[in-house]
């Protein structure tokens, strides 16, 4: 009897904790809820993702997903072959040496979409350059790279990794990379894991801004919300990869340590 009461008590405690995480972010499924519950938890409080999934099913707690997936990667069969220089190594020894980028869609009601192109630093996970437009032409990714170059002052010597989307193999984009001194890198066609870091950024942005809804009411709202989130992401949002510092704080820590070593 005591064992049954204890088991029921543990289950109810898990239900309460899982429901609390789900209430703050209804897009979360079992893996992300498990990670949240185990973050900073003691040995006796840690839970297995299979148990979380069972509890969620039993109590009808489900993560919300966007219903429609929009294809943003359209390979160009005539595009130049570019080697994969990262080989899924999304680390860097210093800022402004390795970047990843991608295009993701932003649903804006009535079946309309905006598109966000990103340039993300592998060292700090900082979004250094980005561009939003109502099209996926080459200008979209070129504007994001130019924004990164303005922010850094120079991208000379840096690697930029992307998928094989037609925008990234276009002649104009290739020429821009050459002018900026950027070396291109690309993963295999149709293999999202080769650009997992950029994909993860996209997922975080949508999960935290859409909060379970299927889109913003209009393009103006989408731009405003995404801009606010990006500002918070770079300056205040704690990132697990950055020892739970914000990306910009993490970079500043690197620069401070470098100066101290040189002094």
- The reply to whether 37 falls in a domain is yes
Q: What is the pLDDT of residue 26?
A: 53
Task: Let me know whether 107 and 35 are in one domain.
Answer: no
CA 136 to CA 117: how far, in whole Å?
Answer: 9
Whether pLDDT at 49 is above 90:
no
Task: Let me know whether 123 and 198 are in one domain.
Answer: yes
Residue, of 95 and 20, whose pLDDT is higher: 95
Task: Let me know whether 35 and 131 are in one domain.
Answer: no
Residue, of 213 and 61, whose pLDDT is higher: 213
Overall domain count for the chain: 2
Reported confidence tier of residue 5, pLDDT bands at 50, 70, 90: very low
Q: Is 144 exposed, middle or buried (CB count within 10 Å of its CB: 0-12, 13-18, 19+)?
A: buried
State mean pLDDT over 97-125: 95
The structure's pTM equals: 0.73
Task: Let me know whether 112 and 201 are in one domain.
Answer: yes
Task: Let me know whether 159 and 229 are in one domain.
Answer: yes
Share of the chain above pLDDT 70, in %: 81
Task: Let me know whether 103 and 199 are in one domain.
Answer: yes
Q: What is the pLDDT of residue 39?
A: 63
Whether pLDDT at 206 is above 60:
yes
Q: In terms of DSSP bridges, do strands 159-162 and 98-100 run parallel, antiparallel, or are they unpaired? A: parallel
CA 163 to CA 27: how far, in whole Å?
Answer: 26
Angstrom distances, CA of residue 219 to CA of 73, 104, 105, 183, 201:
22, 15, 12, 33, 21
Task: Let me know whether 126 and 229 are in one domain.
Answer: yes
Q: What is the pLDDT of residues 115-155, one digit of tens each?
A: 999 999 999 999 999 999 999 999 999 999 999 999 999 99
Structural domain containing residue 7: 2-58
């Amino acid at each position: 009897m005591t064992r049954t009461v204890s088991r029921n008590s543990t289950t109810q405690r898990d239900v309460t904790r899982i429901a609390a995480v789900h209430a703050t972010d209804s897009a979360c499924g079992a893996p992300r809820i498990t990670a949240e519950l185990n973050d900073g938890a003691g040995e006796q409080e840690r839970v297995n993702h299979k148990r979380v999934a069972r509890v969620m099913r039993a109590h009808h707690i489900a993560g919300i997903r966007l219903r429609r997936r929009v294809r943003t990667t359209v390979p160009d069969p005539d595009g130049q072959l570019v080697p994969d220089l990262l080989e899924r190594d999304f680390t860097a020894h210093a800022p402004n040496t390795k970047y990843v980028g991608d295009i993701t869609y932003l649903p804006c009601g009535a079946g309309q979409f905006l598109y966000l192109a990103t340039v993300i630093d592998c060292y700090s996970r900082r979004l250094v350059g980005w561009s939003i437009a109502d099209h996926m032409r080459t200008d979209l990714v070129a504007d994001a790279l130019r924004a990164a170059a303005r922010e850094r002052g120079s991208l000379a010597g840096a690697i930029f990794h992307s998928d094989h989307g037609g925008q990234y193999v276009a002649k104009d984009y290739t020429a821009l990379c050459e002018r900026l001194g950027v070396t291109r890198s690309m993963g295999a066609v149709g293999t999202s894991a080769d650009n997992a870091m950029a994909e993860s950024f996209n997922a975080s942005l949508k999960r935290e801004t859409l909060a379970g809804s299927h889109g913003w009411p209009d393009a103006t709202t989408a731009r405003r919300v995404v801009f606010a989130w990006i500002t918070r992401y770079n300056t205040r949002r704690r990132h697990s990869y950055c020892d739970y510092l914000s990306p910009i704080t993490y970079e500043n820590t690197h620069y401070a340590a470098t100066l101290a070593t040189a002094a």
